[in-house]
Amino acid sequence: MKQKIILALLIVFAGFTSCKDDAEVVLAPVISGLEDAYTVIEGVKFELNPTIENVIGATYLWQLNGVEVAQTQNYVFEESNPGEYNLIFKVGNEGGVDKKEITIVVGAKDMTIEGLAHTLISLELPDYIKDNGDIEWNVLETPSELYRFSQMNAEEAPLFIAAEEGSYLLEVSSGEMKGVVTVVVTKPTEAPSAYIANVFDYLPAPGQFVNKIPTYEDGNTHEDMVAKAAKNMVGEKGTYITLGGWGGYVVFGFDHTIVNVAGKQDFRIEGNGFTNSSEPGILMVSYDANGNGKPDDEWYEIYGSGSITAENEEWYQAALKNGNDLKTYRNFEMTYYKPTDESATTNYLRWTNNKGEEGYKAKRYAYPAWIKDDKISFEGISLAQNGVKSGAFAQLKSFKYGYVDNHANNDDRSTFDIDWAVDKDGNKVDLPGINFVKVYTGVDQENGMLGENSTEVGKGSDLHLLGTSIVTIKE
């Protein structure tokens, strides 16, 4: 019996030593079946099932962000905080150790943002992504094409707006991290008006119909005249007012944001233009970026066909022969002086401009009677002179597109695409929509009996609210 035990011990010992001697044959474990990176959704269990070769005598270790979390072959990952996680899996035995490092990105569950139709909606970035770089947005699915996703304010939050109710699905991503943002757009309790709702300011430059359309009455203040302009222009039955000569302007707005639908004209502004009676007014537009309901935000110019040059207009050669000044002055300034002598028959109303020119306007050009200042100055763009003599009269030729009072009211070219807007450096901008419009007379020209080129501005409307679909005009 004793011998047997000794023998057994010897065998065990021999076996032990032979194990030692055969160390090369105990192979180190090898991990496979794991990716370098995974993306998962917050709060969702995710099981990692690695395949291990050479498991004899193996021990397992999982570390999440440097902290041991398991000693099993499989590991179930679950995190409720979106972000990036570092997971290390180690398997070891006498033969050695294998190690796999994995990045797991936890994305947020779908996020919902609610807002009203015809109203700007700020898309606040989800917390898990807001400090990341390379943020990208995609519009996945929309119930209507009447919407705009705008990167205008992207550093803080992109802007979204829709003209129709429904759920608009967007995707936001930063590298591997992705989330779905659903914008739920509901109807406002009070239906917005499709037409101009407010006139904020009105200052015509001297002109034939100044003090007449609208009518000035003794004692009227500037505020009174702005209210009279509003009385004409606001609503479905809006009619026009005159802006007088070059630079005269009106500022008005809508009770909602007109959506800048991609590839579509967005709004119409009426005047009293018709063929050979075009008195183009330049448009500036803005949206209520600071949300105070007032037009005190950055203005953007609507780039029309003649905003840089009139060379592409059909009447260019005829106007050249007529002796017109066909330059576009991008930084034009003009000052009109209040007449001091109403009995004067000549040298009645003095004007100067920043081209070094000066002169007098005849008595039929009236200075706005409610303005007490002895001069008024305007600055902006001066378009090529479009009036061409024809017999005893002049034909006021139309620019191709992009101006008020330039084509008949029912012509599609009396409508505008907000995507024509450019910033002060001439760069295209991604406006989500507009709340406010400024129109000013764009041509400085007198046309004999017809008088000065003076823009008339009337009713304005939101094409999308009216259900009018006009594809963006190219020429």
- Complete DSSP assignment for 410-427: TSGGGEE-GGGEE-TTS-
Q: Residue type for 440, please?
A: Y
Q: Which is nearer to Ca ion, 42 or 201 (CB)?
A: 201
Q: Which is nearer to Ca ion, 270 or 417 (CB)?
A: 417
Q: Which is nearer to Ca ion, 170 or 418 (CB)?
A: 418
Q: Which is nearer to Ca ion, 80 or 292 (CB)?
A: 292
Q: How many CB atoms lie within 10 A of CB 277?
A: 18
Question: Does 405 engage in binding with Ca ion (CB under 5 A)?
Answer: yes
Q: How many residues bind Ca ion (CB under 5 A)?
A: 17
Selected from 98, 255, 270, 288, the binder of Ca ion by CB under 5 A is 288
Cα(357)–Cα(329) distance, integer angstroms: 14
Question: Does 428 engage in binding with Ca ion (CB under 5 A)?
Answer: no
Q: Which is nearer to Ca ion, 279 or 452 (CB)?
A: 279
> Strands 177-186 and 111-116: what pairing?
parallel
Q: Which is nearer to Ca ion, 38 or 299 (CB)?
A: 299
Question: Does 462 engage in binding with Ca ion (CB under 5 A)?
Answer: no
> Helix (H, G, I), strand (E, B), or coil: what is residue 49?
coil
Please identify, among the stretches 51-59, 249-257, 396-404, 411-419, the one whose residues bind Ca ion according to the rule CB under 5 A: 411-419
- The answer to whether the CB of 365 falls within 8 A of the CB of 338 is no
Query: If we measure between CA atoms, which residue out of 305, 300, 252, 282 comes closest to residue 418?
Result: 300
Q: Lay out the sheet containing 135-141: strands in order across.
A: 111-116, 177-186, 166-174, 135-141
Question: Does 322 engage in binding with Ca ion (CB under 5 A)?
Answer: no
Question: Does 294 engage in binding with Ca ion (CB under 5 A)?
Answer: yes
Q: Which residue is it, tokens 């802007």?
A: 159
Q: Which is nearer to Ca ion, 50 or 273 (CB)?
A: 273
Question: Does 456 engage in binding with Ca ion (CB under 5 A)?
Answer: yes
Q: Which is nearer to Ca ion, 313 or 419 (CB)?
A: 419
Please identify, among the stretches 30-38, 60-68, 397-405, 438-446, the one whose residues bind Ca ion according to the rule CB under 5 A: 397-405
In the complex, what is the shortest distance from the CB of residue 435 to Ca ion, in angstroms, rounded to a whole number?
A: 8
Q: How far from 22 is each of 8, 220, 370, CA to CA, in Å?
A: 20, 110, 109
Please identify, among the stretches 79-87, 133-141, 197-205, 403-411, the one whose residues bind Ca ion according to the rule CB under 5 A: 403-411
- The answer to whether the CB of 270 falls within 8 A of the CB of 238 is yes
Question: Does 279 engage in binding with Ca ion (CB under 5 A)?
Answer: yes
What contacts 24+ positions apart, CB below 8 Å, involve 372-375?
373/338, 374/337, 374/338, 374/340, 375/335, 375/336, 375/337, 375/338
Question: Does 292 engage in binding with Ca ion (CB under 5 A)?
Answer: yes
- Contacts with Ca ion, 237-276, as mask; x by CB under 5 A: -----------------------xx--x-x-----x----
In the complex, what is the shortest distance from the CB of residue 165 to Ca ion, in angstroms, rounded to a whole number?
A: 20
Q: Which is nearer to Ca ion, 223 or 296 (CB)?
A: 296
In the complex, what is the shortest distance from the CB of residue 287 to Ca ion, in angstroms, rounded to a whole number?
A: 8
* Helix (H) or strand (E) segment spanning residue 29: none
In the complex, what is the shortest distance from the CB of residue 266 to Ca ion, in angstroms, rounded to a whole number?
A: 4
Query: If we measure between CA atoms, which residue out of 76, 457, 422 comes closest to residue 239?
Result: 457
> Phi/psi of residue 436, each to 5°?
-130, 150
- The answer to whether the CB of 468 falls within 8 A of the CB of 201 is no
In the complex, what is the shortest distance from the CB of residue 310 to Ca ion, in angstroms, rounded to a whole number?
A: 18
Selected from 98, 270, 417, 444, the binder of Ca ion by CB under 5 A is 417
Query: If we measure between CA atoms, which residue out of 186, 45, 193 comes closest to residue 113?
Result: 186
Tokens of 260: 């800048």
In the complex, what is the shortest distance from the CB of residue 286 to Ca ion, in angstroms, rounded to a whole number?
A: 8
> Strands 249-259 and 198-203: what pairing?
antiparallel
Q: Give, as one character, the DSSP assignment of residue 154.
A: T
Binding site for Ca ion (CB under 5 A): 260-261, 264, 266, 272, 279, 288, 290, 292, 294, 296-297, 405, 417-419, 456
